[in-house]
């Protein structure tokens, strides 16, 4: 089986290290306001590029900068400056949807991946774009049959990008979905003058609305299903079929989500791809992995458009349906490596016992999961065994 890569989101260094430690093949991240998560994620700055590149090169994973917003004339100089910095620091490529950005990246010989914002849905468009790009994220609205036909067409017609390699196809595998076409939506712009296509979506679709009958004024509150709020995409149940289409990369959405979300989702999909390769991917395995995905942030799950049938999965509320809750206990004060003991000053009166699950999150540590062992208490000072190295100021959570 051809290896299918996992592209993981990074909204900050905690998520970046979580993706690295979980085994992601590639990561993508945004800079400032010129990406589709300008308002929701803890974006990096251009000053972080060198450090990010060093981290990724050390573990031999690929790094992508998202520059996929609508771009105005007055921002062209900013784009050029960012591209110069990307080229200088050695970041591998960019994800873009604006032709001007793609053109400028080509001039600097920076690899380009076309964003799903372009809604690429057919082979002819891929032929046209192949002059400038090496990878394409297909429109989210395609089904498995359409994806497979495109991949086979690329091979049959030998459609190659600037690197003289066959165009690689990437698809979304997990994360938030939008009622807009491939994520392009105007609701936020119309209501709040904050454009979703500029990374400033205020998620008008995720809200409750009421309908009023004009003559009587009688109101109907639409709170049973949030009628425009899609549940999250989850392909774990059809991942084997998705792999069979011949795609090269599965993208996980979630730059605005937490590091433990990144850690759990990457690990689950990594495990699933391994089992598919070993031909051990049965119904029981799928259900087990789905249960693991449910422990972190989600709005309920949907198979999206991949099976070519009516999509009826809508979010049933505004909050996460995660089956696991994290409670912050405090920050690590010290770690004693010789005896593998962590010390923390508790900031809560939460009851803690040996055997309880914990998660430690930090910008260098990433995400470390385990069970409390050998707990010792002295008033509000607690020590416990941790096999992996943790660092001062890492956050410690108990999982319920």
Q: In the chain, count of helices (H) and strands (E)? A: 10, 19
Q: Can you give the pLDDT at residue 142?
A: 95
Q: Can you give the pLDDT at residue 168?
A: 98
CATH 2.40.160.10 for domain 326-399: no
Instruction: Name which of 14, 5, 39, 26 is nearest 260 in CA terms.
Output: 14
Angle CA(8)–CA(85)–CA(169) in degrees, nearest 5?
35
Domain residue spans of the chain: 5-178+230-302, 326-399
Instruction: Name which of 153, 143, 79, 145 is nearest 112 in CA terms.
Output: 79
CATH classification (class only), 5-178+230-302: alpha beta
Average pLDDT on 383-390 reads 96
DSSP helix/strand/coil, 125: helix
| Per-residue pLDDT at 364 exceeds 60 | yes
> What tokens appear for 197 in the block?
């296509």
DSSP helix/strand/coil, 329: strand
What is the enclosing helix (H) or strand (E) of 365? none
| Per-residue pLDDT at 316 exceeds 60 | no
User: Is residue 93 exposed (0-12), middle (13-18) or buried (19+ Cβ within 10 Å)?
Assistant: buried
Note whether 5-178+230-302 and 326-399 share their fold. Answer: no
Q: Can you give the pLDDT at residue 390?
A: 97
Percent of the chain at pLDDT above 70? 87
Dump pLDDT digits (tens) for 214-235. 888 777 665 555 556 678 899 9
Dump pLDDT digits (tens) for 292-302. 999 998 988 88
Percent of the chain at pLDDT above 90? 72
| Per-residue pLDDT at 282 exceeds 80 | yes
| Per-residue pLDDT at 162 exceeds 90 | yes
Q: Can you give the pLDDT at residue 315?
A: 59
> How crowded is residue 318: how many other Cβ atoms within 10 Å of its Cβ?
12
Mean pLDDT of all residues belonging to the chain: 90
Q: Can you give the pLDDT at residue 223?
A: 53
Q: Bin 279: left if φ > 0, else alpha if -120 < ψ < 50, else beta.
A: left
By residue count, the chain amounts to 400
DSSP state of 129: H
């Amino acid at each position: 089986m051809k290896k299918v890569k996992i592209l993981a989101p990074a909204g900050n260094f905690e998520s970046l290290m979580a993706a690295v430690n979980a085994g992601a093949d590639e990561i993508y991240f945004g800079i400032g306001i010129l990406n589709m998560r300008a308002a929701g994620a803890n974006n990096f700055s251009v000053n972080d590029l060198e450090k990010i590149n060093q981290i990724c090169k050390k573990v031999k994973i690929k790094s992508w900068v998202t520059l996929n917003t609508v771009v105005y004339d007055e921002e062209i100089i900013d784009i050029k400056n960012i591209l110069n910095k990307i080229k200088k620091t050695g970041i591998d490529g960019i994800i873009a949807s604006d032709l001007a950005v793609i053109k400028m990246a080509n001039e600097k010989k920076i690899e380009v991946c076309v964003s799903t914002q372009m809604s690429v849905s057919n082979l002819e468009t891929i032929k046209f774009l192949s002059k400038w790009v090496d990878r394409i994220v297909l429109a989210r609205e395609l089904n498995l049959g359409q994806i497979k036909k495109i991949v086979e067409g690329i091979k049959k017609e030998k459609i190659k990008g600037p690197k003289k390699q066959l165009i690689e196809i990437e698809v979304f595998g997990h994360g938030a979905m939008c009622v807009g076409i491939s994520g392009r939506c105007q609701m936020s712009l119309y209501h709040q003058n904050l454009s979703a296509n500029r990374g400033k979506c205020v998620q008008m679709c995720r809200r409750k609305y009421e309908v009023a009958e004009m003559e009587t004024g009688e109101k109907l509150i639409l709170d049973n299903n949030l009628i425009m709020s899609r549940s999250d995409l989850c392909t774990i149940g059809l991942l084997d079929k998705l792999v069979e289409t011949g795609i090269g990369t599965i993208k996980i959405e979630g730059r605005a989500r937490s590091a433990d979300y990144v850690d759990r989702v990457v690990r689950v999909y990594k495990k699933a791809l391994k089992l598919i390769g070993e031909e051990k991917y049965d119904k029981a395995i799928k259900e087990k992995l789905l249960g693991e995905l449910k422990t972190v942030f989600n709005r309920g799950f949907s198979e999206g458009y991949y099976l070519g049938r009516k999509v009826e999965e809508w979010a049933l509320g505004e909050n996460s349906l995660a089956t696991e809750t994290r409670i912050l206990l405090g920050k690590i004060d010290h770690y004693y490596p010789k005896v593998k003991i962590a010390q923390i000053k508790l900031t809560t009166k939460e009851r803690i016992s040996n055997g309880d699950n914990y998660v430690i999150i930090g910008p260098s540590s990433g995400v470390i999961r385990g069970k409390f062992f050998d707990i010792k208490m002295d008033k509000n000072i607690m020590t416990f065994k941790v096999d992996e190295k943790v660092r001062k100021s890492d956050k410690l959570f108990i999982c319920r």
